[in-house]
Amino acid sequence: MGGAAQASRRHRRPSRCEEGVPTNPTALLSSDHLQAAIAGHLDDQAGSPLIGWARELGDLHATLLTGWLNPARRPADFDEMVLRSRISEVIGEIDSWTVFVLPRAAAGARKHTHTLGEVISHVAKTYAEAWWTVLHTSEEQPELRHEAWFHLGQVHEAYADLVNDLYARRIELPLGWRGITGTPRT
């Protein structure tokens, strides 16, 4: 990359989505930044590695959803097992990262049922489902759109609460487990 292009990127004004994104690679994303990362509105080369993982989970869940709901739009190389396996791998990468960067929970902290990777995957799945619902339901179904946005809002708020509790050391996340894996049935 030429010097002028590098200088231009260095002095580029951050987008509204990128303002306040943690540049510390060990920082958790806020709920707003997580949604922006899932949507692909953040540069996954800057700051927390969660940006890239969240984006990938968003893409994977959107691909799964499209393939399931609209088989005619499936890519030729669509393979549900491969996609689900990759989702598990990304969750595992997040969980491995979490062990080394999150503060230890205080004594007596309540235990959470899901790992950070599982939570971020759930947020990405909910985001994909909400957007699919909004984009593919008719104007005559405003209640369905409202339910989708409402549910996404609840997930958004719950993630924000989780981040606050993690930094306050009030909650302990379980160690990651990739579950039962196997070969696809024939």
Parallel, antiparallel, or unpaired for β 110-111 and 171-172?
parallel
Q: What is the pLDDT of residues 38-76, one digit of tens each?
A: 999 998 777 789 999 999 999 999 999 988 888 888 878
Which tokens is 120 given? 């971020």
Residue 93's pLDDT is 96
Angle at 47 between CA 96 and CA 154, to 5 degrees: 70
- Domain limits of the chain? 26-172
Angle at 135 between CA 134 and CA 138, to 5 degrees: 80
Confidence of residue 12 (pLDDT cuts 50, 70, 90): very low
Q: pTM to 2 decimals? A: 0.82
Q: What is the pLDDT of residues 89-117, one digit of tens each?
A: 999 999 999 998 888 999 999 999 999 99
Confidence of residue 4 (pLDDT cuts 50, 70, 90): very low
Angstrom distance (rounded) from CA 126 to CA 92:
19
Which tokens is 150 given? 């409402």
Contact 167, 109 (CB under 8 A): no
Q: What is the pLDDT of residues 140-175, one digit of tens each?
A: 888 998 999 999 999 999 999 999 999 999 999 998
Amino acid at 4: A
What contacts 115, CB < 8 A, 6 or more positions away? 91, 94, 95, 98, 173, 174, 175, 176
